[in-house]
Structure 1
């Protein structure tokens, strides 16, 4: 990391106002966006609110709205705010994180301001997609956002969607910014994950569902997970056992959940998840093109994996 970058980041840190610290530990659900079965595939707001209310009632830490699982890329900026406002009508603001992604700085900052006005817990931000900035460019991008934000910023390192990986040194530098408080870790680098947890400067949340057990055992704060839509009680008990040092019980739950986690990502997310939710909740199995619904074979596989969880004896 060059000295010029470090000097610039110090200026950012010293000039920005301190934002209240929030604990983002726990199981957060990467919320789907239900659509109506119509030609326009409008957002199904009643189904959205029913699902959000149910998940909060079941005890999850909170919801991430308009992330990749929420098909944010298929929603207009206006629709994203409408989805956020609909969830805010039924879920306390401190239990909501809003997704934010883009490659036009002005538009990103405008949407950030609109989100900040709503007082949600934080905003989950990816590096700008498609343009593949340098690490210095990533630092500049996130400093601009963190300096401007009225709410905490969570990093979202997901190189297979953005086309660029946030290197460990870059994340460590960003973790020094007082408004950057957590990371959804989809980088796939266990060494980096361990180092960030050991540093203790930023809360590390598993972003790949199958890495939840490992991240928690290493001392991570929790996870932002799509699969926690289904049997969130098991995810909560898994974390509770790990916190209590009961690894055998936690491991048993994890291996019961693992086939479901793996199946949900065998076809592009959130198609398998929406197929499962359509069978157990009052929502339609509808995605916006170019996303397609899960294949019939995948739908059957998902429902079988979910049924096996339902057949389990209660896990203490």
Structure 2
């Protein structure tokens, strides 16, 4: 089993049957599909409806993912798991569970219920990092955490105090913030590797890489994993001349798809995946399934059609 590394990760949707019970077979089949393309899974993240999952469900999802990857001879693919909680105690429990179930790192979102300040957030992350058996990444996503938007100064302050905070995911989409974080020297991490700054959307991967991004956690990888992986591989080449033009062209295709998929939300993406792979389109209440006409519009959206054309060509 490999450690967390740079590259493309997918926040895997949690698939439910008509009774809102988890369809573990559909989930693991999808994870293996992504891993074959080189994409690493994030289990129980925002797109995975983590907020709707019970503790035992989170544990089983990780265990079943590890089992499926190993059975498919994909034991080198690491698992990242969501471990954010509304209390520090809960997040520490989720992180401990994730480690025991087979994850190699945890992604921890800020608890947004009380609109916490910097002192609270510093206390939250440093305590989780100190107690977690595996490395911790800070997840900055203002839209789903009560508007909390962590600054680069705050993230760096927390990281400087906590060597087990080894990276961050920035779904605030700030290239400037990412650059400040990625290029600021920090004491050695518990991974022995540099601090890993990840783009929370694929649509700023290319500019992100120019300032030090180590990859992206992107929903686009759920329906175009080969395309996302190709973009990542291309971005490892010199970003000059004709090569840069080719990278920019592919980046625009994926960025357009990312914008459309983000607007469609969890239910929309599940509807799209149902059309592509037959995975269940069900969500867990209070979310509602996407209407058929909305799914049809998504499937036929020019940006989605274009990225799927590229995907089929690979």
TM range (shorter): 0.7 to 0.9
Structure 1 portions without partners, runs of 5+: 1-20
Query: For the Cα contact (< 8 Å) 2:24–2:61, is it kept in 1?
Result: yes
- The match for 1:190 is 175
Q: What is the CA distance between 1:315 and its match in structure 2?
A: 7.6
Query: For the Cα contact (< 8 Å) 2:173–2:200, is it kept in 1?
Result: no
Q: What is the CA distance between 1:191 and its match in structure 2?
A: 2.3
- The match for 2:248 is 251
- Taking the aligned partners of 1:302 and 1:96, their CA distance within structure 2 comes to 29
Q: What is the CA distance between 1:199 and its match in structure 2?
A: 1.2
- Taking the aligned partners of 1:218 and 1:119, their CA distance within structure 2 comes to 32
After TM superposition, list the pairs within 5 Å mapping 1:1-316 onto structure 2.
22-37=3-18, 40-60=19-39, 62-91=40-69, 92=75, 95-163=78-146, 164-176=148-160, 177-201=162-186, 202-245=195-238, 246-267=243-264, 269-304=265-300, 305-312=303-310
* CA-based RMSD: 2.1
- Taking the aligned partners of 1:226 and 1:314, their CA distance within structure 2 comes to 18
Q: 1:117 to 1:314 in 2, by over 3 A?
A: closer
Q: What is the CA distance between 1:23 and its match in structure 2?
A: 4.6
Structure 2 portions without partners, runs of 5+: 70-74, 187-194
Q: What is the CA distance between 1:94 and its match in structure 2?
A: 5.4
Q: What is the CA distance between 1:67 and its match in structure 2?
A: 0.4
Q: What is the CA distance between 1:296 and its match in structure 2?
A: 3.3
Q: What is the CA distance between 1:22 and its match in structure 2?
A: 4.6
Query: For the Cα contact (< 8 Å) 1:227–1:273, is it kept in 2?
Result: no
Query: For the Cα contact (< 8 Å) 2:35–2:77, is it kept in 1?
Result: no
- Taking the aligned partners of 1:118 and 1:312, their CA distance within structure 2 comes to 36
Secondary structure of the residue aligned to 1:286 is coil
Query: For the Cα contact (< 8 Å) 1:102–1:129, is it kept in 2?
Result: no
Query: For the Cα contact (< 8 Å) 1:184–1:207, is it kept in 2?
Result: yes
Secondary structure of the residue aligned to 2:59 is helix
- Taking the aligned partners of 2:45 and 2:81, their CA distance within structure 1 comes to 7
Query: For the Cα contact (< 8 Å) 2:3–2:104, is it kept in 1?
Result: yes
Q: What is the number of residues matched between the two proteins?
A: 292
- The match for 1:15 is none
Secondary structure of the residue aligned to 1:129 is coil
Q: What is the CA distance between 1:251 and its match in structure 2?
A: 0.9
